[in-house]
Amino acid sequence: MQHQSIQMVDLTTQYQRLKTNIDRAVEEVLKHGRYINGPEVGRFAEALSAYLDGAKVVTCDNGTDALQAALMTLDLQPGDEVIIPAFSFVSPAEVVALLGLQPVFVDVDPHTFNIDPAAVEKAITQKTRVIIPVHLFGQTAPMEPIMQIADANGLYVIEDAAQSLGATCLTGGEERQAGTIGHIGCTSFFPSKNLGCFGDGGACITYDPMLAEKLRMTVRHGARDKYYNEMVGMNSRLDTIQAAILIEKLRHLDDFIQSRQKVADGYFNALSGMSFIRMPKKTGEGKHTFNQFTIRVNGGKRDELKNFLAEQGIPSLVYYPRPVHYQPAFSGMLTAGQSFPVSEQLCGEVLSLPMHTELTMQEITYISEKFREFGKRV
């Protein structure tokens, strides 16, 4: 094996495995020529709804648009507060600020990287309207206490399940799908996700038929019927070719997840016990889908390890190098003296290793050998 061939994400090999059916699906779209709102879009929404235990699915252009549409649907007012984790991709904070709402950052659990319910409860004020838990890296946030907090305070919950479609969470003694527990779930079909298309794509998920209808209007210029705009909306569509690809890939989603879990088990077996790293924690309260496999590197050695791995032909990435509240775009939105020590520490320690459905045990063995080699140097 050429170790230089290890990839952070290998979409090409996965495509080769599914090529015949995906090519046929794309060719069908090219034949009928309905590139916008073709029949495959509805068929995909129905198939994903069935996968998500009957939750209604409203497709859109990407995961960020899904979050924006969800917030636009809830009749919020400028200045209303939305609680979001400080350790996350920027999208939740971005759409909150874009709509004139107030992002309220809270810290996360140092072991699971997900939002801390105790911090959420402390952050609630008279202006709080929404909580956005982000199901980070493939593991659901602790939804049972979050929903209890939301119900007690009359708040909406929008789940950001962009990295965790197919993950599950124990809520009320029942195993529930990520994105179906709160009032609205949002997901992304970015190519590297558990269910990824060959471009951009996203969806909103809800069991509430009234919210589903309003979401459909929101992403279609605020119109139920063409040229009759009942509300200010947005233009956000999943195109037909992407929907056709997603129909085929959805059939394999559970297999994709099992492959990722097998890779994760390989990492746990090969890397556990190394003193210079801390492994990610599985809560044991649902299914972790490992969109990323993210470790913590002790003693300020993260960048040194990252550079060493790169020299050995092993890619790695930092999700995320800066907490959201330290981004210049949000520098004016903090109360004086606010800090989120867990999020700030994580940004200096986290390192995500190669994770995809095509990663082999031979490659994991090579990666672990290089970890041991690095361990002897520190």
* Alpha carbons 11 and 330: distance in angstroms, whole number: 34
Q: Are residues 157 and 284 in the same domain?
A: no
pLDDT recorded at residue 332: 80
CB 287 within 8 Å of CB 166: yes
- Four-CA torsion 115, 118, 120, 122, nearest 10 degrees: -150
Q: Residue 305: what pLDDT? A: 98
Judge if 269 and 280 occupy the same domain. yes
pLDDT at 331: 82
The answer as to whether 6 is a domain residue is: no
Q: Give yes or no: residues 161 and 300 share one domain.
A: no
> Do 228 and 190 reside in the same domain of the chain?
yes
For residue 371, the Cα-to-chain-centroid distance in whole angstroms is 28
Cis peptide before 207 (omega within 30 of 0): no
Distance CA 97, CA 134 (A): 17
Q: Would you give per-residue pLDDT tens digits along the chain (378 residues)? A: 445 589 999 999 999 999 999 999 999 999 999 999 999 999 999 999 999 999 999 999 999 999 999 999 999 999 999 999 999 999 999 999 999 999 999 999 999 999 999 999 999 999 999 999 999 999 999 999 999 999 999 999 999 999 999 999 998 889 999 999 999 999 999 999 999 999 999 999 999 999 999 999 999 999 999 999 999 999 999 999 999 999 999 999 999 999 999 999 999 999 999 999 999 998 878 999 999 999 999 999 999 999 999 999 999 999 999 999 999 999 888 766 788 999 999 999 999 999 999 999 999 999 999 999 999 988
Q: Last residue of a domain, which of 188, 215, 250?
A: 250
DSSP symbols for 86-115: SSS-SHHHHHHHHTT-EEEEE-B-TTT-SB
CA distance 320 to 165: 20
Beta strand pairing call for 156-160 and 128-131: parallel
In this structure, the answer to whether residues 282 and 216 fall within a common structural domain is no
pTM exceeds 0.75 for this model: yes
In a domain, 3, yes or no: no
Q: How many domains, the chain?
A: 2
Instruction: Give the type of residue at 191.
Output: P
187 and 318 fall within a common domain: no
Say if residues 325 and 338 touch (Cβ distance below 8 Å). Answer: yes
The two tokens of residue 22 are 């995906």
Residue of 47, 72, 67 lying closest to 57 (CA atoms): 47
Same-domain pairing of 199 and 257 = no
Among residues 250, 280, 298, the one where a domain terminates is 250
CA distance 119 to 141: 13
Give the closest residue to 36 by CA, choosing from 251, 190, 235. 235
> Which residue range forms the structural domain that includes residue 291?
253-375
Same domain, 51 and 90: yes
Q: Are 171 and 146 in contact, with CB atoms under 8 Å apart?
A: no
How many whole angstroms separate alpha carbon 234 and alpha carbon 67? 12
State whether 321 and 369 are in the same domain: yes
DSSP state of 290: -
Task: Determine the pLDDT at residue 2.
Answer: 43
CATH number of the domain at 297, please.
Answer: 3.90.1150.10
Domain end call among 208, 233, 250: 250
* Cβ-based neighbour number of residue 213 at 10 Å: 15
Question: 297 and 160, same structural domain?
Answer: no
